[in-house]
Structure 1
């Protein structure tokens, strides 16, 4: 992988790490579903010129929009709102990595070397160790929601891999177009006092959905789409496991979280696993299965 793509992956990780903070603060002010709707409203406003029909691809695009825009993100911000901090939620989001790796092997026929399986296991085991804390387990409902969100993202990632001739901004525009009306409807059905919350928010509280749109969606997920179009899913997804480690350090600084030795050992395992995955790998594909 060229140095440029490594830098892009680091940028995506950083954008996602700070998005946990934006989600925590934004969902507290606006309610989780409304915060998610605001996020995608900003994306739709900015990318509306890219909203054009793409022949032969719309069915897959709409499924990605529903699964990623509505399912994944609503569950993520519901979980963030329920949790006491951001570290545990950041850990649970990484369950999409083994989900995506297994699905890429089964559905796309991506070849998995022993080295790649070991690296993925080591990286994921490190993330699990970091999150294996009694304080985190107090919010098991939040972890369950975020784990399901990880499964949704894994499926959406596989569908992204199958797209052809769809630009990054076109895909993001359509995800926002699918998600925005659905999320506003869900918010009106299950949340209350939307108008009061909108009118009482200060400018710095509005910064949360704006950052989530610009940082996480227009930067982070655009980079992921770029990477999965060029590299195997089983190679790119473990690289993105740095974001929960970064989120934990952010939680220490902003929320006074106090992780112990598990943080340091788990972080070392995760980064080592990523190194194993990317050491002298050559892209190969498993022969397709007979139909």
Structure 2
């Protein structure tokens, strides 16, 4: 991969990593469902030119949009609101990788290689270790929500395998629309103080949903989609392992997270498991 493409991968990782900081700052002011709604309201406006029907695939597109927009992202930002830190959330979101392996076995009857099963076990064990960290142990709802968000993402990933010829921005536009339509009544029913939060938000607080929509969705996903069109998945996917590492660094340096040995060990185990699943090692005696 050329150096410029590696630099783009680094930018995408940083964009996704900083989204955890933006999200944590956003839900500190806005209720989480409202924050998610505002994020996607901006995104759907930006992606209106790509909001077009997908003939013959709309049922699947809409199902993915609901699972991702209404379930996955509301749980992610709900988890950030409930969490005591950013780092544990960033690492726990990697659960979607082993969960995708298990979803493939359950729904598609796939028979993964032994190394993928080993990676799945290591990743889950790592999250269990993280769960006993004092900061995480005091906020079990956060870990439960992130696990639920990861399961939703895994399910959506299985559904996405059946899509053909649907661009990343078209799919994101439908996800954004589903989120706005689905989460608006939910925030009105289950949250309070929305009007005050909107009226009192500073430009910095408005910047949180704006960054989450533009920096994470448009820049981050856009770059990765561009790279995937030019390089194999086996080359591009492992590069994205840097995102949770950068998120932990941002959490410590920008948000004041305190790293305990349980979070470090559990995080390394989780990332190692994800790496075992994603990285295809060359056979001995062959050229990489």
Which segment drifts farther, 9-18 or 247-256? 9-18
Structure 2 partner of 1:203: 203
> Per-residue deviation at 1:101?
1.1
Partner of 1:256: helix, strand, or coil? coil
Partner of 2:47: helix, strand, or coil? helix
> Per-residue deviation at 1:75?
1.2
Structure 2 partner of 1:78: 78
Q: Given that residues 126 and 268 in structure 2 are in contact (C-alpha distance below 8 angstroms), is that contact kept between their aligned partners in structure 1?
A: yes
1:140-219 alignment runs, 5 A limit: 140-219=140-219
Q: Given that residues 94 and 270 in structure 2 are in contact (C-alpha distance below 8 angstroms), is that contact kept between their aligned partners in structure 1?
A: no
Relative to 1, partners in 2 of residues 1:167 and 1:232: Cα closer, same or farther, differing over 3 Å? Answer: same
Question: If the length of structure 1 is used for normalisation, what is the TM-score?
Answer: 0.82
Question: If the length of structure 2 is used for normalisation, what is the TM-score?
Answer: 0.83
> Per-residue deviation at 1:29?
1.3
Q: Given that residues 94 and 124 in structure 1 are in contact (C-alpha distance below 8 angstroms), is that contact kept between their aligned partners in structure 2?
A: no
Structure 2 partner of 1:259: 259
Structure 2 partner of 1:247: 247
> Per-residue deviation at 1:68?
0.4
RMSD value, Cα:
3.1
> Per-residue deviation at 1:25?
1.0
Q: In 2, Cα distance between the equivalents of 1:8 and 1:59?
A: 34
Q: In 2, Cα distance between the equivalents of 1:244 and 1:144?
A: 18
1:1-291 alignment runs, 5 A limit: 10-108=10-108, 110=110, 112-222=112-222, 240-270=240-270, 272-273=272-273, 276-277=276-277, 278-280=279-281
Unaligned runs of 5+ in 2: 284-288
Q: In 1, Cα distance between the equivalents of 2:238 and 2:101?
A: 9
Structure 1, residues 76-128: CA drift from partner, whole Å, max 9, x if none? 11121112111222233222221101222444455522233334444554454
The number of aligned residues is 281
Partner of 1:156: helix, strand, or coil? helix
Q: In 2, Cα distance between the equivalents of 1:123 and 1:237?
A: 16
Structure 1, residues 143-200: CA drift from partner, whole Å, max 9, x if none? 1122111111110111112110111111111111111122122112222232332121
Relative to 1, partners in 2 of residues 1:182 and 1:26: Cα closer, same or farther, differing over 3 Å? Answer: same
Q: Given that residues 133 and 263 in structure 2 are in contact (C-alpha distance below 8 angstroms), is that contact kept between their aligned partners in structure 1?
A: no
Q: In 1, Cα distance between the equivalents of 2:35 and 2:54?
A: 29
Q: In 1, Cα distance between the equivalents of 2:237 and 2:148?
A: 17
Relative to 1, partners in 2 of residues 1:251 and 1:138: Cα closer, same or farther, differing over 3 Å? Answer: same
Q: In 1, Cα distance between the equivalents of 2:151 and 2:142?
A: 15
Q: In 2, Cα distance between the equivalents of 1:209 and 1:92?
A: 22
Partner of 1:52: helix, strand, or coil? coil
> Per-residue deviation at 1:264?
4.2
